Structure formats: C-alpha cells, structure tokens
Amino acid sequence: MEPRTLVLDGNQRASLAAVRSLGAKGLWVAVGESSVPSMAGNSKFSKRSFAYPNPLDCPRRFFDALLQTINEYGITFLLPITEATTYVVLRYRDELPSSVTLPFPSETSVEQLANKNQLFKFASEQRIPIPPTVYCQTRQDGLAELEQWAEFPVVLKPFKSKILQADGIVSTRVLIAKTIEEAMQLLKSNDFFDFPFTIQSFIEGRGQGVFALFNDGRPVCYFSHRRLREKPPGGGVSVLSESVPLDDQLKASAEKLLVGANWHGVAMVEFRVTPSGTGYLMEVNPRFWGSLQLAIDSGIDFPWLLYRVCTGEEVPEITWRQRRVRWILGDLDRLFIILKSPTSNYSLGRKLLEILRFCRPGLRTRHEVNRWRDLHPFWFELKQYLRALKG
C-alpha cells in the first residue's frame, strides 16, 4: 500500500514546512484544517485538503471526522502540529487503525513533560535548574502562597496551554505580575486558574530553545537557533531567526529530560538563560515549532527524519549549516507595532533605524512562507493578512 501522510493544522507555518519537506521527498501528503482552503493546503505538495470540526469547540466530533478521513483515504502517517489536535488524537489514539503511525510516545510520557506541574518536579529530581517554584492545585492555594511571596515580579503558569475537556478545550496563557495586588487580581479574573498551575520567580535573561528528535529514548539529532527579531518586539514569536551552534549545558539538560521520559518523536525544550549563563527550564512542547523551516534549511530536516524514524527506515547522515529565515508578514507586523508606539518607547531615530533594518534583513536570508517554487501559500497568507487589516 502506498504510504499516505495527513498533516493537521494547515494554517500553521510549521504545517507548511512539514508538507513541503515530506512532499519534496515524494510522499503523498494531505492537509487538514478547521476551514478550507488553508495555507499549507495551498502548497503544490498537498494532494488533498480536508476540513474538520474545530477541536477547540468539540474534540470528539473533530476526532470522528478525522477518523473518517483516515479510513477513506488510507492514511498511514498522521502528524498533528498544534497542542490542541495533538492532545485530542492522543486521547483517542486507541481508536486509530493499526495501520496508522502516530509519531508520539504514550500519553503518559507526553503528560510527564507537557504538564508543567509534573515537568518541574521531574526536572528538579534530575537536578536541572528551574526557577523557584510553588505548585498550586486550586486558585485558593495560589492566593495563600502569594501572601507569603517576598519578591516580585512573579510568573503565573497554568499546567498546560491547552486543557482538554469532554466538551471542548480550555486555552490558557502564562501571565507575569509585577505586584502582589496584580498577581491576586490575575488569579481571580482568569477562569483557567481553576485548574492546577505554578507560581514562579521571574528569571531575567534571554529565551533559548533546544529542538530535538528522539527514537525510543535515544537522541537522533538536535537543533538550536536564536531570535533576531520578535513580534511583539518585547518578546514573542520569532519573525527573523538564525541557526546557531548548540549550547552544551542546555543540550545536556534537554537530553537528561528526554532520556528520562523515554521520549519518542520531536520536542522543543525552552530555557531562559541568565546573564551568568545558567539555563533555567521554562517548558517542554511535544510538537513542531513555528520556525521549523529554519531547521530544514539548516540541513536538519526534522519532518523527513521523524518520518524515517517512525517507519523504521535508516536515518541519513546529517550536515548542519548556518542559515537565516524571515517570516515577512510577521516582521511587517512588528515594524507597524514599533512605528505606532509613542516616542517615549521608540525615538524617531530608532524608528528610522527599524525601517532600514526591515528593508535589509541580511545576506542569504530566506523567506519562510513565500518561496518562488511554491508561492500559492504566500498568496493565501497575504489575502488573509489584508482582510484582517481591513477588519
């Protein structure tokens, strides 16, 4: 039977990178999203596009529709990209046909790393640096702990960014509070603090990630990059990044975690590195990351390597090279944010400098979405972007 891959979450840039990667290797690839058309579904490498119910609204209906598509088209490799689709598929994985390969370990192994409350306890046992942390099961636990907290700001961190319930998925977010009053107000006003969470000291430093592929508890390859520009400018999603050599301490910490969890598949291990060089663990995401295309361009083709690992094929020799990738519409958004900011935040001279930097991203910079040999995804993204501006 011809191998057939279904990539979910077609409007994600990581989905587009995966579709291009696998399709360029000659695999039959289809794309699913809660609406069609989608960005990745517009790629020349996408053979089919499917719409499914939004998993955030009705996880069970989403999975039933997904199962129907899998059976109808003989899908043999299923690749969820976002946490929402990943958690739903893992919840019902026993109902998948035996012919379908799902590139994840058991739900228990995923929970050990994706559940931040469990993760930080496990990391502490492994002697991996974590911020000073208290674990809260309820909102009242948090309010009581804040009464004893000495230094601010603090970070209020829900145990998951997506919490799967029977009738939907609860979306959460990490919040930073500068004072005890602000922290208490945030706890009281956000319903997702009805679920477990942690309170942590805020760590000054820069964010840095280690991206890895594991095969049944053994490392296959690693990757690291640095963010050159982010949206919003103060910290957020990367819009211009470049590949960099791995930091030995961060690699060692990531490997200890992933080996200890007997990890299988890809993972993104995030740290905050202090000026003194200590890398404090922030979280682990059991999925592909937004700047996946940068890793592929740098010679570490994670989607293709993941496919080969999970289908029992030999992994080819990997040659790393330094590259730079830009998400141009995200970078344009960042520039708009800066230009609209008051001069107290960005002086006129700084704004002019940012315009110049936008127009000159650097030599050998490749675009993440708009690629000459596969332009339709960019036209789709641009139309969506212009519609959002008009709205």
* Residue 205 burial (CB count, 10 A): 16
Percentage, residues of the chain above pLDDT 90: 90
pLDDT class of 71 with cuts at 50, 70, 90? very high
Domain stops at, among 176, 201, 226:
201
Given a cut of 80, whether residue 1 has pLDDT beyond it is no
Q: Which long-range contacts (CB under 8 A, 24 or more apart) does 275-278 make?
A: 275/204, 275/205, 277/249, 278/129, 278/249
Residue 45 sits in a domain whose CATH number is 3.40.50.20
Q: What one-character DSSP code corresponds to residue 371? A: B
- Residue 362: per-residue pLDDT: 78
- Residue 25: per-residue pLDDT: 96
Domain stops at, among 141, 170, 201:
201
**244 & 163 share domain:** no
Residue 287 sits in a domain whose CATH number is 3.30.470.20
**216 & 292 share domain:** yes
Residue owning tokens 């805020």 = 202
List residues bridging with 172 in a β-sheet: none
Residue 117 located in a structural domain:
no
**188 & 267 share domain:** no
**266 & 334 share domain:** no
- From CA 308, how far away is CA 343, in angstroms rounded? 52
Given a cut of 80, whether residue 314 has pLDDT beyond it is yes
- Residue 106: per-residue pLDDT: 87
pLDDT tens digits, residue range 333-376?
999 999 999 988 899 999 999 999 999 887 789 999 999 999 99
- Residue 107: per-residue pLDDT: 82
pLDDT tens digits, residue range 81-136?
999 999 999 999 999 999 999 999 988 889 999 999 999 999 999 999 999 999 99
Residue owning tokens 């009738």 = 167
- Residue 391: per-residue pLDDT: 73
- Residue 361: per-residue pLDDT: 83
Among the ranges given (7-21, 295-309, 349-363), the one the predictor scored with the smallest mean pLDDT: 349-363
Residue 128: closest CA among 210, 51, 50: 210
- From CA 168, how far away is CA 192, in angstroms rounded? 13
Given a cut of 90, whether residue 166 has pLDDT beyond it is no
Copy the structure tokens of residue 280.
């404090």
**319 & 217 share domain:** yes
H or E stretch including 388?
Answer: helix 376-390
* Amino acid letter, 376: H
pLDDT class of 236 with cuts at 50, 70, 90? confident
What backbone torsions phi and psi does residue 149 show, to the nearest 5 degrees? Answer: -75, 135
- Residue 150: per-residue pLDDT: 86
Residue 114 located in a structural domain:
no
Residue 154 located in a structural domain:
yes
**180 & 71 share domain:** no
- Residue 389: per-residue pLDDT: 87
**197 & 243 share domain:** no
Residue 174 sits in a domain whose CATH number is 3.30.1490
Average pLDDT over residues 61-82: 97
Residue 268 located in a structural domain:
yes
Average model confidence (pLDDT) across the chain: 94
Residue 358 located in a structural domain:
yes
- From CA 259, how far away is CA 219, in angstroms rounded? 8
**11 & 50 share domain:** yes
Residue 108 located in a structural domain:
no
**309 & 346 share domain:** no
pLDDT tens digits, residue range 254-301?
999 999 999 999 999 999 999 999 999 999 998 999 889 999 999 999
**220 & 317 share domain:** yes
**45 & 70 share domain:** yes
* Amino acid letter, 40: A
As for how many domains the chain has, the answer is 4
Copy the structure tokens of residue 367.
């675009």
Given a cut of 90, whether residue 51 has pLDDT beyond it is yes
- From CA 44, how far away is CA 373, in angstroms rounded? 9
- From CA 277, how far away is CA 41, in angstroms rounded? 42
Range of the domain at 153: 132-201
**148 & 181 share domain:** yes
Domain stops at, among 145, 178, 201:
201
Residue 161 located in a structural domain:
yes
